[in-house]
Structure 1
Amino acid sequence: MNKMMNFTVIIPHRNIPMLLGRLIKSIPMRDDLEIIVVDDHSDACVVEQLRSLERENLDLMLNQECHGAGYARNCALPVAKGKWVLFADADDFFNTEFNDFLNEYINSDADIVYFNANSLDSETFEPSHRVDHLHEFIDEYHRDKERGALIMRYLFTEPWCKMVKLDLIKNNDIRFEETSIRNDVRYSYLVGHYAEKIVVDERQLYCVTTRQNSVSRGIGYQASMDELKVFAGWKNFLMDHHIPLELPKFDLCLYNFTRHLWKDNKRFWTEYKILINAGLSHVYIINKVLFYIWKSIGYKL
């Protein structure tokens, strides 16, 4: 007889087995909690280390090619058995009160329970600033619950620090984008959008680490194109659903896009097609281009 699983923790991983081990040790041992590690084609010697992982209710999935964290997370979702789903990055870890949190919310009628985090350097454990935005979002939620709820639902786009009902994900066919960067944005705003009830817990239950070789550091041409695609789809979704929130990062993308009109014309038209394919209208794009041309002239940029 299969055991009832209340929680599934999904972890994409590639070539950092020691840090993955640290994360797994931080997850409480529970009969009602399963861990799914999806290895995104690590080196052969690393895969051998992963095969030797000893932990009850741990499922290891091995991808034969490297497709990125979004693909890895999507591989795990169809086999998840928990009532609640949580995502963790392999170089992060949970803090000591996490098990108390699970006990407290196991039977919650919320669709999403958001929680807070701290941030440290992965090696030195010196404080970092990777979750300053989350602290600001939660502070805003306590100042103005209506606006704060919108921010948590639509602007907090990392996959961690949110515990989501699996039925919400399945019933709305929500998946991660399989882009080289920002693959978690669409998943996050969609679960936020479809959740009928959310709860925000201010305890710092998760530690987000900073590493020099982290995937999130640096951005090349393809990552820049993928980021524009993700941000454009995000902006279009907010406009279509009349969500009164701005996306400053997308505004910066549009500013750089406008500069490409005279600095890299070929790239400009490639990016123009990305914006159109994301659902933005020609009128919207042209108005933005004219606005940023005016700003560039006005500020002599």
Structure 2
Amino acid sequence: MSYTVIIPHYNESKRLNRLLVSIPLCKEDLQVIVVDDCSPNQTSLAQIKQLFPTVTFLSTPTNQGAGAARNIGLQHAIGEFVLFADADDEFLEHAFEYFDEAIMHDADIYYFLADARVENTGEHSVRADVFNGLIEKYLNEPNKGNALYLKLEHCVPWAKLYKNAFIKQTQVLFDETPVSNDIYFNIINAMHADKIYAVDKVVYRVYRLTDSLTSTLTAERLLCRLQVSAKVATELNRLGIPHSRSASGFLAQSLSFGPVVFLKALLISVRSDLHLNLLRVVNVSRWLRYFKRNNTTSAEINRK
């Protein structure tokens, strides 16, 4: 069997249907695994199960998040190559044909382009722009520097193909955290990859949702993201890989939640291998880019 598609799911049955329809389930070399994270609405999920009898449906023992769901999927993956998809996204036409072409080039990880849309309007979203830019830069100049930058910054699991034997060899799994559960998996596995292969083909569509709860920044989510970033920095240092991961942005953001949260963030930062570059905090151009990106994201979320 060539491919295993792993899909974490939580109360997204209608969108899950859209995703499953986009997968060529008639392919004989395809295993599709949906891991439900204890969705409250099991009735809708039962209807999906009836519609897609060839799909394997599993469940987390308790509500643990997408990272735990993906890890369960990996335990049952038998495909030579593994794809990860979010239940609210979809694959594009010819995607699996492009996968078939790409695997002719032996690699541990394959990177592809993605399309991004605002779900409510169908307009372009910026969600995939940064990741596409990393791939295009590497394709234009496939040198060691751009390869390292691609590995360090392409931190999402979608529009990417992993060799299953490679994942089993590294034993690097997803974090089971409420947010940022895929950052460590993608970056650290990429650091272990002997060979990567980038493809100038659009295979996946990611949606900007207007009802997403995880897009709202809270103090708990900020601290969780900081802890994950610190974990990544520690492992990169252990591997002897130079990086620019910094705590400065997290510290600046923590100020908006009050002194207690700021002190918690500061404590995590000083105990970690993250850089504490205070000059980044007062870098005006950096903050202008940050606010521009945030304003664009907010505008997309609020589109009707």
Matched with 2:178 is 180
Matched with 2:268 is 274
Offset at residue 142 of structure 1 (A): 2.5
5 Å-filtered alignment, 1:108-127, equals 108-127=105-124
Instruction: Indicate how the Cα distance of structure 1 residues 233 and 73 shifts in structure 2: closer, same or farther if over 3 A, else same.
Output: same
Which runs of no fewer than 5 residues in structure 1 stay unpaired? 297-301
- The correspondence for 2:13, drawn from 6, 10, 17, is 17
- The 3-state SS of whatever aligns with 2:31 is strand
Matched with 1:27 is 23
5 Å-filtered alignment, 1:1-301, equals 5-28=1-24, 29-42=26-39, 43-56=41-54, 58-145=55-142, 146-247=144-245, 250-257=247-254, 259=255, 264-275=258-269, 279-280=272-273, 288=277
Offset at residue 37 of structure 1 (A): 0.2
Matches of 1:130 and 1:64 in 2, distance apart? 31
- The 3-state SS of whatever aligns with 1:180 is coil
How big is each residue's C-alpha offset from its partner over 1:167-192, in whole Å with a ceiling of 9 and x where there is no partner?
Answer: 11111111101111111100001210
Matched with 2:300 is none
TM-score (norm 2): 0.84
How big is each residue's C-alpha offset from its partner over 1:239-288, in whole Å with a ceiling of 9 and x where there is no partner?
Answer: 4444344347x43113345x58xx844333322443356x438xx65xx4
Identity %: 31
TM-score (norm 1): 0.84
Instruction: Indicate how the Cα distance of structure 1 residues 251 and 270 shifts in structure 2: closer, same or farther if over 3 A, else same.
Output: closer
Aligned partner letter, 2:23: I
The answer as to whether partners of 2:119 and 2:207 remain within 8 angstroms in 1 is yes
Greater alpha carbon shift after TM alignment, 29-38 vs 210-219: 210-219
- The 3-state SS of whatever aligns with 1:174 is coil
Greater alpha carbon shift after TM alignment, 195-204 vs 239-248: 239-248
Offset at residue 108 of structure 1 (A): 3.4
Which runs of no fewer than 5 residues in structure 2 stay unpaired? 285-304
Instruction: Indicate how the Cα distance of structure 1 residues 292 and 89 shifts in structure 2: closer, same or farther if over 3 A, else same.
Output: closer
Matches of 1:294 and 1:199 in 2, distance apart? 38
Matched with 2:293 is none
The answer as to whether partners of 1:255 and 1:292 remain within 8 angstroms in 2 is no
Instruction: Indicate how the Cα distance of structure 1 residues 293 and 215 shifts in structure 2: closer, same or farther if over 3 A, else same.
Output: closer
The alignment covers a number of residue pairs equal to 281
The answer as to whether partners of 1:140 and 1:147 remain within 8 angstroms in 2 is no
Offset at residue 109 of structure 1 (A): 1.4
The answer as to whether partners of 1:36 and 1:76 remain within 8 angstroms in 2 is yes
CA RMSD of aligned residues (A): 2.5
Matches of 2:282 and 2:96 in 1, distance apart? 54
Matches of 2:27 and 2:269 in 1, distance apart? 46
Matches of 1:292 and 1:104 in 2, distance apart? 43
Instruction: Indicate how the Cα distance of structure 1 residues 99 and 295 shifts in structure 2: closer, same or farther if over 3 A, else same.
Output: closer
Matched with 2:299 is none
The answer as to whether partners of 1:22 and 1:93 remain within 8 angstroms in 2 is yes
Offset at residue 45 of structure 1 (A): 2.2
